[in-house]
Structure 1
């Protein structure tokens, strides 16, 4: 064995300039080592943090931090007496000589003998000492055979051994470990590659195979630091080198690729370093808590067009996209070199430009793109036609990237290229996969410059959970899924429509362009319409098809807004919507686009409740179009029809028509217009049997066509001004979210309210909770004039980091005789209860409400009057009402942090 490294033999060539070893040794000599170590670590933290904030080179900081910990461990090691046969080895990131502020310091204590008893006092004392001084360590104590046995079954352990380095002790032990864990003993290059590739696929799947989430994981998401390490690990194993730099000139990567790898790693290191520093822990998620701080730290400033945080995140998404692209090409290169090198070569010509080699497409000759630039589109068309093609050869990916400069304005205006792109949009297979490939290889953004503008563009809200480009692909993926057999169960209406859609490619184009103008300022729907129509004209679509696509882009938010924010039980609302839609063809396309858009924005938004609203709006509009826009439903006829159906239903319960009508009294038209005959019969029978002035509360799962997927709550009580506030308060306390509220006042002095609610998971609440809900409502109504503070639920973490204040808008509806108050706000626990209390304070009567919760944002509409039932007319009162609502909602977040 080599000599033991002792305290008398200086181990380090370069002492960190801020670390005074002489003073440190003096403090150790005083006999109080723990305070000396802690002070040194704290001083180093302050020093490193300051240098990071001042913009020092990130590689210097990461390597120097690891180097400093080497010093600390050196002195800690020599606090103990070590017998022969031990070696302290750094593994993992620390083994590579890299250390971020809160990264684990992974250590392996290698023992020459299984009998560790002579070393036990030193081992226990050493690791306990490291914990006592505050180091975050991960450690293991093993012999070489034990390491090999574990590494044989655990790819992570094998990887850590590859990147190990000796700190102190008998270095021969680590040399023996490397010799026995090489690819000729365990984890051959091909087995190692396959295991690591599976590991990466599983890791990516945890993040929905995208890095473009609202709070991306810097380390583990696609395009993150793990992808860089993945390339490094496999390449090192295959080429038998210690560092990636040793691969220069060996054909593994080009100079440009190496530059992308280094610059991408440097940027992500800065982000990760800043995250750890700000969070004070090993946080790998780029949380809202820290995005704004990092943007400021990195020098970004708000502009009239874009927030600093949006600029910072745009840079982040661009970097990880480039790294994901590089990961693609380099792993494909290694796959060919490792897995396919010894396999029989099968070559199948496709056409003059391309051929299939072992299932992967490649160019037929190296000058294909140079001589025929249209082949830059054709290759994706070929893959869209043939689902046998497993991917693109690495050499061809590189040629595509090197040739993408050939896509210029002349290329874009070439009718042959336009035809190729339209052929891609009609692909029978993997359309979205090909578009994603085109984006990663830099083709899509060059062919469609307007798409390049939204690539990596963040939408800084909680409504959208992906970047604009990723959201667009999610929408198109949903459209394609409507064709699959399983869509019959999950999206029955959409699946039925999709089967008979005459030209699906028009829907896909609308999906590709519906958000294309995000981030430009102005109305993105109108601006997007212009771009969409220009695309259609350039790609040879007919004027009728062009108008349809443009209309879909312009109106892509309409159907969602009508279903969630308007009373779709009102025939006038349906007639007006049908008039905008105009015909069945447009209705079909718009429904598919809307459903795909909602699910692509945030899958959690597509509850059974929202699905039922959309289905009802679609079916009612379809009937209106069949009936003819010149033949709208008469409100009076509809009311009479509903009443007669309810009377017939109650006749089965032995209620005479006279008794039924006496129970109804002079209930207003809205009640018979908005409630189904089944619910009216349900209410009426219960009122007849109740026979008391005490509140009547009915609860069941909704059975109303178009209102399925929610729990229905009916409340009838003596007319009081604050029933809505009390009910909202009680339901909020039970973590039930009101989706729709219908408020009616009857001439006999009763208030009738119908609520449709969902639990915190967006589902109808369990029948087991019905008694609890009933009791909570009765208790609240009993205290209706003096009930306690609104809620106890905490505001979700993510909501606290959005500066969007609550907004209100008030107008008068002279026809309906009410004031219309619109409230737009981040969703907060107790929001409706807070609004109800403000109404109570101002003497406001709530006549109706339309509740729309869009992810973590609400857009609620309240139809209100003054105490005498008139629209609000005093401007000062109107302004004060709105100010108080905004303050009440914004205060909730402040109180609950």
Structure 2
């Protein structure tokens, strides 16, 4: 889209005024001098960068860059003998056609060529394009006739879009005018079909760039709310209304002055971000990569503050900007739908469904412009009506604008109004539409105004790989996930959770816990404690009983308890389960916390959830429920648990025709820990393989591709030696497997029974049966049959994203129950082969691993190891100091 008042070949923008006169004369006198022209190209870029550093308005920079490139192209065009041909025309298309050029933007040109021409002309065109590349102007170019242009544009909406941006540069002007006439809406892509195609294109782009990977490193151009969304408005404005400038939408009644200023301010900010990305990266880069985010924060003047890092402040500014632009885009597209796509007759006769609202063309509309001024609670009532009438498609653009214009009415008086409080709770108690209306309330600024604490987390991003979404988006994802557990059509995803949800009384308490669980992020202090205080205050003022308010506050305070217990502690230990049960106290709390934990993990980052974590939470839930049913005053009876496990395992072994006396004899070599840390099914699986095994047939490797634990189980039976953990972890790492759990049992006869639970690296999936399982088994056999030195730690290349995070390695030791082992907790930057490195160090130090629990959260790991000296002795102070030093050196 041409800037205001532009004519072919001109840009109506403030002049970008480096010294060009002498350079122009020098270049004019030295046609074909690649070095001189290349220097000029470099000088233009350096002047751009310096202008940015000096604070020059971004519009001047990017339009000025286009002007300078125009001048170079025109000069070279003339020097190559192309200026005098009356059937030849050079035009700028795409973003360059709009007169917008960032430092590394595409420079797209098209040469229109009509009639018969001497072959020498094509040589001159080729020479022209080659010369541009030689001097550092990397153009995208095509040579087409007008018929070629219309044919390709008719077949491809992207080509058509590029061409409607066309701007004359040089050559025969009448040819350019003929070209413009050939692509007018009455010839190809009428405004209705053009808009429908571009709308579908935007929706597909939003789905693609709204995925998790793009949320962590958003695309400033293509992502939702990015520059492409603004361009979309420009294209539709140009095609449907024949307008050259977005600001003409104000005079057409589609935009208000304030909205236009908001759009331009947002565009200028994104232009500055994109410009800085190109400058810092030294190439075209439209993604806010992790390695650039901190540099961008510094470039934009953000500094670290207490509990609020500069990079997080910058990213919050970015996300708030694109959120605002996405809302404006939605508003304008709704207007365009009504003006371009909708049947005018369907908009004629509104249907009144409420004293303050009516339905027009399938969309809810305020009955008059003073609705919200006369009755402010209608700012909540409108969303409750949408829940009650799911057949309504949405809110009309004019009413969206009224909501945005009256948000200021949601003040302290509004929040204290009993009518407003009841309406808000009605929305949370509704049988359907809770998440969709909360999202809509967030988009229109109502939710952040009604809950000021929620308003502070809008757009807030945490600089890590664990949280894929802004805090407000994550919160609404958690609400959605919690509500999804209630729906029969999704019961197959979480059968246990669905069953529990079906038995909940007053499920709005779960919705409230989800809404408040992270509401205090970024304030400093413990966000769980601060959020619990906010939740309690809210509930007490919104009609909940003291008991219900207390439950919601407890859930917010304890929302991390279950996930941390399941992932970082040994939940096969009855004492761990008892400790968790004492925190939970009641079955009701357990049910609510289990559902909230599932919803929270799945709403943090879709890549975090897998069958292993699902299994951990279910195991902890059932174990805790048993404790609560038995009573907290009844201590765990480990002897009874062991007897029950042995009895169940014997029954399974007997079913397979094995001698139970032989099984008992085998088990006599194993201590109680084996029966506490393995299920009856696992023990029977081991027994069926070990009982017929000849004494010298070692090592034995068993692989179960998928187990009830939600992982692939690898069982290793071999002669014990200090290097075995290092060897196994090294081999599994080289196979591309992530180890999530390890249990090492040593027999009185010097054998080791090691169980490793693994998932495929990256995807979190169990391994395929067949070839993959056999590959694992054979690789481990080869590794364990090797003799000699400790294997070198296995390693794989560090992923790009991990290179830019600083995670201090922390190592803590504590005595384990019984006094015969030491618990080591390790926090470090995640990287491929880390566990193999740890195993290597432990082997060098002569330390045995009895259990290992591996927990990864984004860019960091928090692993737990139960360690001992040979002979089951705990590590003394000297052992711990030596191990700490060796691990820090290796990691």
Cα distance, 1:566 vs. partner?
2.1
CA contact 1:28–1:36 (8 Å) conserved in 2? no
Q: Partners in 1 of 2:599 and 2:264 — Cα distance? A: 38
1:715 matched to 2:707? The reply is: no
1:604 paired residue number: 607
Match among 555, 572, 575 for residue 552 of structure 1: 555
Cα distance, 1:17 vs. partner?
3.9
Cα distance, 1:31 vs. partner?
6.2
1:822 paired residue number: 825
Instruction: Choose 585-594 or 353-362, whichever is displaced more.
Output: 585-594
Q: Partners in 1 of 2:163 and 2:323 — Cα distance? A: 30
Mind listing any 5+ residue stretches in structure 1 that lack a counterpart? 1-8, 890-897
Instruction: Choose 847-856 or 508-517, whichever is displaced more.
Output: 847-856
Q: Partners in 1 of 2:61 and 2:691 — Cα distance? A: 78
Q: Partners in 1 of 2:766 and 2:791 — Cα distance? A: 27
Cα distance, 1:361 vs. partner?
1.0
The 5 A counterparts of 1:142-181 are 142-181=144-183
Q: Partners in 2 of 1:337 and 1:27 — Cα distance? A: 51
CA contact 1:529–1:553 (8 Å) conserved in 2? yes
CA contact 2:332–2:397 (8 Å) conserved in 1? yes
Match among 326, 329, 332 for residue 330 of structure 1: 332
CA contact 1:726–1:784 (8 Å) conserved in 2? no
Match among 297, 300, 319 for residue 298 of structure 1: 300
2:868 paired residue number: 865
Cα distance, 1:207 vs. partner?
2.5
Q: Partners in 1 of 2:752 and 2:646 — Cα distance? A: 20
1:384 paired residue number: 387
1:589 paired residue number: 592
Deviations 1:344-366 (A, max 9, x none): 32311121111111111111111
1:535 paired residue number: 538
The 5 A counterparts of 1:839-878 are 839-867=842-870, 869-874=872-877, 877-878=879-880
1:38 paired residue number: 38
2:768 paired residue number: 766
Instruction: Choose 482-491 or 822-831, whichever is displaced more.
Output: 482-491
1:752 paired residue number: 753
2:139 paired residue number: 137
Match among 433, 450, 458 for residue 453 of structure 2: 450
Match among 316, 319, 336 for residue 318 of structure 2: 316
1:894 paired residue number: none
Instruction: Choose 822-831 or 338-347, whichever is displaced more.
Output: 338-347
Instruction: Choose 569-578 or 443-452, whichever is displaced more.
Output: 569-578
Deviations 1:787-840 (A, max 9, x none): 443234111111111122222222223545322111122321011111112222
Cα distance, 1:576 vs. partner?
3.0
CA contact 1:211–1:223 (8 Å) conserved in 2? no
Match among 669, 672, 676 for residue 669 of structure 1: 672
Q: Partners in 1 of 2:722 and 2:121 — Cα distance? A: 79
Cα distance, 1:269 vs. partner?
0.4
CA contact 2:427–2:434 (8 Å) conserved in 1? yes
- Structure 1 counterpart SS, 2:406: helix
The 5 A counterparts of 1:753-832 are 753-760=754-761, 761-767=763-769, 768-783=771-786, 786-832=789-835
Instruction: Choose 268-277 or 387-396, whichever is displaced more.
Output: 387-396
| Residues 853/406 of structure 1: CA separation in 2 closer, same or farther (3 Å cut) | same
| Residues 121/589 of structure 1: CA separation in 2 closer, same or farther (3 Å cut) | same
1:510 matched to 2:481? The reply is: no
Aligned length: 878
1:123 paired residue number: 125
Match among 673, 680, 685 for residue 683 of structure 2: 680
Cα distance, 1:237 vs. partner?
2.2
Deviations 1:85-104 (A, max 9, x none): 01111011100111011111
Q: Partners in 1 of 2:225 and 2:289 — Cα distance? A: 17
Cα distance, 1:774 vs. partner?
2.6
TM-score, normalization: structure 2? Answer: 0.94
Cα distance, 1:14 vs. partner?
10
Cα distance, 1:483 vs. partner?
3.0
Q: Partners in 1 of 2:142 and 2:136 — Cα distance? A: 18
CA contact 2:790–2:844 (8 Å) conserved in 1? no
1:726 matched to 2:727? The reply is: yes
Instruction: Choose 438-447 or 777-786, whichever is displaced more.
Output: 777-786
Deviations 1:336-391 (A, max 9, x none): 22233733323111211111111111111111111111111111111122111111
Q: Partners in 1 of 2:507 and 2:15 — Cα distance? A: 67
Cα distance, 1:490 vs. partner?
1.8
1:4 paired residue number: none
- Structure 2 counterpart SS, 1:461: coil
Cα distance, 1:21 vs. partner?
4.7
Instruction: Choose 139-148 or 28-37, whichever is displaced more.
Output: 28-37
1:65 paired residue number: 65
Q: Partners in 2 of 1:799 and 1:358 — Cα distance? A: 51
Instruction: Choose 631-640 or 344-353, whichever is displaced more.
Output: 631-640
1:99 paired residue number: 101
- Structure 2 counterpart SS, 1:714: strand
Q: Partners in 2 of 1:526 and 1:252 — Cα distance? A: 46
Deviations 1:445-481 (A, max 9, x none): 1100010111111111111111111111111111222
2:4 paired residue number: none
Q: Partners in 2 of 1:544 and 1:334 — Cα distance? A: 50
- Structure 1 counterpart SS, 2:464: coil
CA contact 1:91–1:160 (8 Å) conserved in 2? yes
Q: Partners in 2 of 1:114 and 1:138 — Cα distance? A: 24
Structure 1 residue ranges (4+ consecutive) displaced by more than 6 angstroms after TM superposition: 9-15, 209-212
- Structure 1 counterpart SS, 2:359: strand
1:431 paired residue number: 434
Instruction: Choose 171-180 or 60-69, whichever is displaced more.
Output: 171-180
| Residues 209/140 of structure 1: CA separation in 2 closer, same or farther (3 Å cut) | same
CA contact 2:482–2:511 (8 Å) conserved in 1? yes
Q: Partners in 2 of 1:254 and 1:886 — Cα distance? A: 60
Instruction: Choose 731-740 or 550-559, whichever is displaced more.
Output: 550-559
CA contact 1:690–1:696 (8 Å) conserved in 2? no
1:5 paired residue number: none
1:892 paired residue number: none
CA contact 1:699–1:770 (8 Å) conserved in 2? no
1:3 paired residue number: none
CA contact 2:699–2:784 (8 Å) conserved in 1? no
| Residues 864/12 of structure 1: CA separation in 2 closer, same or farther (3 Å cut) | closer
| Residues 628/650 of structure 1: CA separation in 2 closer, same or farther (3 Å cut) | same
Q: Partners in 1 of 2:260 and 2:798 — Cα distance? A: 45
CA contact 1:575–1:621 (8 Å) conserved in 2? yes
| Residues 662/401 of structure 1: CA separation in 2 closer, same or farther (3 Å cut) | same
| Residues 747/441 of structure 1: CA separation in 2 closer, same or farther (3 Å cut) | same
Q: Partners in 1 of 2:338 and 2:289 — Cα distance? A: 38
Cα distance, 1:29 vs. partner?
4.3
Deviations 1:114-148 (A, max 9, x none): 76856322222222222232322222221222222
Instruction: Choose 72-81 or 527-536, whichever is displaced more.
Output: 72-81
- Structure 1 counterpart SS, 2:703: strand
The 5 A counterparts of 1:10-409 are 17-23=17-23, 25-26=25-26, 29-30=29-30, 32-82=32-82, 83-113=85-115, 117=119, 119-208=121-210, 213-340=215-342, 342-344=344-346, 345-409=348-412
Cα distance, 1:261 vs. partner?
0.8
- Structure 2 counterpart SS, 1:847: strand
Instruction: Choose 190-199 or 728-737, whichever is displaced more.
Output: 190-199
| Residues 687/555 of structure 1: CA separation in 2 closer, same or farther (3 Å cut) | same
Instruction: Choose 277-286 or 19-28, whichever is displaced more.
Output: 19-28
- Structure 1 counterpart SS, 2:674: helix
Cα distance, 1:160 vs. partner?
2.0
The 5 A counterparts of 1:555-570 are 555-570=558-573
Q: Partners in 2 of 1:193 and 1:450 — Cα distance? A: 39
Cα distance, 1:209 vs. partner?
7.4
Deviations 1:151-202 (A, max 9, x none): 2232222222222110000122222222232223332222222222111111
Deviations 1:761-782 (A, max 9, x none): 2111223123322332233334
- Structure 2 counterpart SS, 1:56: coil
CA contact 1:235–1:334 (8 Å) conserved in 2? no
Q: Partners in 1 of 2:516 and 2:118 — Cα distance? A: 67
Cα distance, 1:679 vs. partner?
2.3
Q: Partners in 2 of 1:176 and 1:818 — Cα distance? A: 86
Cα distance, 1:610 vs. partner?
1.5
- Root mean square deviation of aligned Cα: 2.5
Q: Partners in 1 of 2:654 and 2:443 — Cα distance? A: 67
